[in-house]
Amino acid sequence: MSLETNKIAAAVLTAGVIAMTSGFIAGILVHPHQLKESVYKVEGVQQAAAPAAAAPPAIEPVGPLLAAADLAAGEAQSKKCTACHTFTQGGPNRVGPNLWDIVGAKHAHAEGFAYSDAIKSKSGNWDYEELNHFLASPRTYAPGTKMAFAGLPRVADRAALIAYLRTLSASPKPLP
Ligand code: HEC
C-alpha cells in the first residue's frame, strides 16, 4: 500500500471516529425528550397519544314531538310489539307483560309477570322519556333485560309509538 493511500485511509478513519465521538458527547450534553402530543395539530389527523373514547350516541327526547305525533304511525309501530305484548285492558301477559295503561305506570307494573332484575331494579315510573330511552335500545337502558327487541333508532318512530301507547288508557296522562 502506498503512503498516499495510507494517509487517505487514516483521514477517513479519523473523520469517522470524530463523528462518532461528537455524536456520543452531544447525546450526553443534550437530552432530547419526546413531547407527549405533537405541538402542531393537523386538522383531521388522529392524535395517536390520545385515542378518543367512543361516546354513546345521545338519545333525542320525544317530549317536544308528542303533541304533534302521528297516532296512526304509532299504531303501525306497535305491530312490532304484538309478537310479545297485548295492549288491551285486562289483556294477558305473553312473552312480555300486558301494556294497557303503561305510560306513567311503575316499572315492572304487571301482576304475575316474571320480570328480570334489570327492570325490577329500576325505580320510578315509565314516564315519556323513560319509555323513550328503553325503546331506543332496551339492552342499553336495562342491561340484562329479557326483552329481546333491538330498539327503534328513529326518534319519530318512538314519539309516534309512545303517543299511541298514551291513548291506551282510561285516563291518558297529560302531555309534557
Ligand atoms: C321478543 C319479545 C318482545 C318484543 C318484540 C317487545 N317486547 Fe317489550 N318486553 C318483553 C319482555 C320479555 C319484557 C320484560 C322485560 C324484563 O323483565 O326484563 C318486556 C317489557 C316491556 C316493558 C316494561 C313493562 C313493565 O311493566 O315494566 C315495556 C314498556 C315494553 N316491553 C314495551 C314494548 C314495546 C313498546 C315494544 C314494541 C316496540 C316491545 N316491548 C317489544 C318482550 C318483548
How far apart, in whole angstroms, are the C-alpha atoms of residue 109 and residue 45? Answer: 51
Tell me if the domain spanning 63-167 has CATH number 1.10.10.10.
Answer: no
Domain positions in the chain are 1-30, 63-167
CA of 96 to the centre of ligand 1 (A): 5
Query: How does pLDDT run across 14-46, given as a tens digit for each residue?
Result: 775 666 666 665 656 666 566 666 666 667 665
How far apart, in whole angstroms, are the C-alpha atoms of residue 64 and residue 53? Answer: 30
Q: Is the pTM of this model over 0.85?
A: no
Binding site membership of 135 for ligand 1 (Cβ less than 6 Å):
yes
Binding site membership of 136 for ligand 1 (Cβ less than 6 Å):
no
How far apart, in whole angstroms, are the C-alpha atoms of residue 56 and residue 73? Answer: 28
Of 75, 78, 84, 128, the one to substitute when testing ligand 1's pocket (max ligand atoms within 8 A of C-beta) is: 84
Q: 3-state class of 80 per DSSP?
A: helix
Query: How does pLDDT run across 123-164, given as a tens digit for each residue?
Result: 999 999 999 999 999 999 999 999 999 999 999 999 999 999
Cα 76 → chain centroid: 27
How far apart, in whole angstroms, are the C-alpha atoms of residue 15 and residue 21? Answer: 10
Query: How does pLDDT run across 62-102, given as a tens digit for each residue?
Result: 999 999 999 999 999 999 999 999 999 999 999 999 999 99
Indicate whether 175 pLDDT > 80: yes
Give the CA diameter of the chain.
Answer: 115
Pure H helices in the chain: 3-29, 63-66, 71-77, 117-120, 128-136, 138-141, 155-167
Residue 34 is predicted with a pLDDT of 67
Q: 3-state class of 106 per DSSP?
A: strand
